[in-house]
Structure 1
């Protein structure tokens, strides 16, 4: 792993720790209550809408930006960035206006089980938090610009502003008035966006208010991004089904899913996103130069590096799900029932990390080749399987069934991505790749067996924190 990637991992780890502290604070004040469910839905809506723009910008923007800069110069590339930013602002405004006019139907789309006070609270939260779509979307665009210019650190550090602000408002809402909650979300992500302004100036970015929908590069970006947006749409349909079923299964079900996703997301944010982000410009340049051997090597080596860290984490999360949830969230309004419910979901979600890692890095190999159709087809297949499994498994296993379905879909997606890249580029070193994964997997299982017996011994004799600490030391 390169120095930049390693530094990104460290910064992302610190950021995720603070982000996780945010979840600990909100769990203390609100547990798995209906109020927390309303907050989750209200935050999901702007995250979903910004995700359409963010996906196109962070993945589709870099190859086209690199092409413009190489063929037409830096000034044209900056102008292209400004144009995309201005057009994105206009598109976002249409989304925001729609949600403000039809807030209640939109909330019901995400959580059909909401009624009465829970519904009215979710509507109130949504009308405030929807404005964060601007800062979330534009942050991702300009993060893509910074990454294309080999600037990774500042944009990786920027989420500190959001997390600290949200934590402050959560505490204030718990002490003063719960209606402060959505303002923390909105203000926090605005500060995150503002935090990258100095670095933008440092890299030479100068914003212009150019709006040209006929720009060939913009049309290329739209053409390039449309399949990814379709893929994300299917993924979001799966998430909507998740939340709808969870809202009908049990009060607090949405919150339990969210806490488990946040915990697995911490590993994703530390070990998947920063690594794939740091290597993506190199992958894009290798593809641009038609150096396919380098592209295959970067992709394979990155996937192995991710697996080296993730497979032991997956085994550990499955075995230690309940004590981990108890240690992290088990205080205040987060009681025994919440712990058991969330731990079951966490253990079932854990395997999706490896599927997510492989999907992320191998899909970026396709994006580097300006091939978005293949990842989209694979994504739709995997999500289709996921959605079918959600209905079937939730009937038998409740919330855990939803998590198993999600994990299965992600793993299938990762496997199909690898197979598809081999079909497109020829031999990708699959035998060596499988051999390394097998060794990592066997080592992880042996570690898991040791962890299980160490915790069984220590857990019954020592306080939770000490027993977990001893277990983790034994794992290493």
Structure 2
């Protein structure tokens, strides 16, 4: 077991991730104020798809690189870790240099493939030209992403959590600084068409600089801990290398297959101007709480899952799976209720300033409501994926991902015609529901039975409690809007704070009445910390 308690790890990760997410939110506010949902924002959201995907896939906490490294390194002696990490870093680094060069050379056709709908309008053609340049600038993020994922997985396995959780703020800080300098130089001219390309270049350079900083700050920590240095090593005969690759290959392809769903969404979104930017702004508002809760749950639980992978420990493993799913339900379900009912004041408070006006707020609100509906299944699916990784099985999530690609394409085609931009998000929610159900069924067989019926009862009750909390939240918002209005920042902030407090209070009372063990444990830990 880890030297730190589960609660201690979760606390470290929560604080660091919260700080990082706050900076990410400020970055999106700066983007919204500068470019709203115009061609520069559309271009950036399109060009960032590939480097952003690689940063999440390869360098992200809970991504396949991170998961594969943790699942293997957590079981090995410290003196065996450095040669293993150096070999994996060498092999992955050489491969990703080739990927970087390929992105630079083929940036134009890649953007053309992702944003085919851009060619339908003059604004779209402008966005495409900007996106090509941005993608070429951000191409080296492919290399940095792999190095980040390996390093952070190693640090987590060695019981170091602060640096991996807080480091994403560097990407936000560098973008904010770049936009701030540009705004000081250009002033209001920043939003004019003739400076669109310059704005796009600054965004790309800031993003690349942030990825570089994420990697470079981990190097001294790895050296100091004796977990590997910057040296070439080709010790491919090490059994640990084979163990990592056994999980890494299928897990990377699995996550890559899931990203094809994102490409499918972008293909349809590019035909509706402003949709790409709206998806990006709404997604950030959902990913902020998702990222915090995901890191709190998955980061401390993944090493535990890995240490309980032996069949003799499966009874405890099942208990830990239940705990993680209950924590997901306790956090995500009430947040979903609040986001769906308070989507408009949330968008207005966060984004409505500068170039971001009422029309943009309406579009982003509709997309945000759709995202809010799927928060539980999104994170629940991630928990189940990590259980499979801990068991050394990357093939099952990969196979499910392949089926998901076709299902997502079909749902995208029909739902965007019926519902517009929110239909793309609801298609993803549907895919996650099917994936979560399939993983529960297959894990039930793999672990010789799961008490999923007893697990489902508290989740259903928490869903009903969240629904009631959502109703209370909506009624409170309606009353506050009648009292203070909704025409300015402070009125929307009063709505948001007041209605949220009512909704969360109702959910808390109902949860206590349901007497769910994990809820009682969570309350006890909070009281203990407040009492210190």
Shift of 1:451: 0.5
With over 3 angstroms needed to count, the CA separation of the structure-2 counterparts of 1:348 and 1:52, relative to structure 1, is closer
Correspondence for 2:254: 231
The Cα shift of 1:222 comes to 2.8
Which string of whole-angstrom CA distances, capped at 9 and with x for unpartnered residues, describes residues 166-214 of structure 1?
Answer: 2111222344451322111011121122222332233222313213455
For residues 173 and 93 of structure 1, the distance between their equivalents in structure 2, rounded to whole angstroms, comes to: 31
2:265 equivalent to 1:242? yes
Equivalent residue, structure 2, for 1:171: 180
Question: In 2, are the aligned partners of 1:359 and 1:414 still within 8 Å (CA)?
Answer: yes
Note the residue ranges of structure 2 that are not aligned, 5 or more in a row.
1-5, 120-124, 186-197, 485-490, 506-532
How much has 1:234 moved relative to structure 2?
A: 2.1
Deviation for aligned residue 1:450:
0.6
Matches within 5 A, 1:2-401: 2-54=7-59, 55-67=63-75, 69=76, 73-115=77-119, 116-176=125-185, 177-178=198-199, 179-207=201-229, 208-213=231-236, 215-248=238-271, 250-288=272-310, 290-401=312-423
What is the SS of the residue equivalent to 2:74?
helix
- CA–CA distance in structure 1, aligned partners of residues 146 and 285 of structure 2: 23
What CA distance in whole angstroms lies between the structure 2 residues aligned with 1:164 and 1:50?
Answer: 16
* From 433, 440, 457, the counterpart of 2:455: 433
Q: Deviations over 1:89-134 (max 9, x none)?
A: 1111111111111110011111112343222211111111111222
What SS class does the counterpart of residue 150 from structure 1 fall into? coil
**How far 1:138 sits from its partner (Å)?**
1.0
**Kept after mapping to 1: 8 A contact 2:114/2:263:** yes
**Contact 2:58 2:65 survives alignment (8 Å):** yes
CA RMSD of aligned residues (A): 1.8
The 3-state SS of whatever aligns with 1:267 is helix
**TM-score, normalised relative to structure 1:** 0.94
CA distance in 2, matches of 1:308, 1:53: 29
Cα deviation for residue 223 of structure 1 reads 3.1
Question: What residue is the counterpart of 1:451 in the other structure?
Answer: 473
- Asked if 1 retains the 8 angstrom alpha-carbon contact of 2:33 and 2:354, the reply is yes
Instruction: Name the SS for the 2:83 alignment partner.
Output: helix
Distance (whole Å) between structure 1 residues aligned to residue 33 and residue 11 of structure 2? 33
Shift of 1:224: 2.3
Residues 450-476 of structure 1, C-alpha deviations (whole Å, 9 max, x = no match): 101110010132111112111112122
Secondary structure at 1:272 match in 2: helix
Gaps of 5+ in 1: none
Question: Using the alignment, how far apart are the partners of 1:51 and 1:161 within structure 2?
Answer: 15
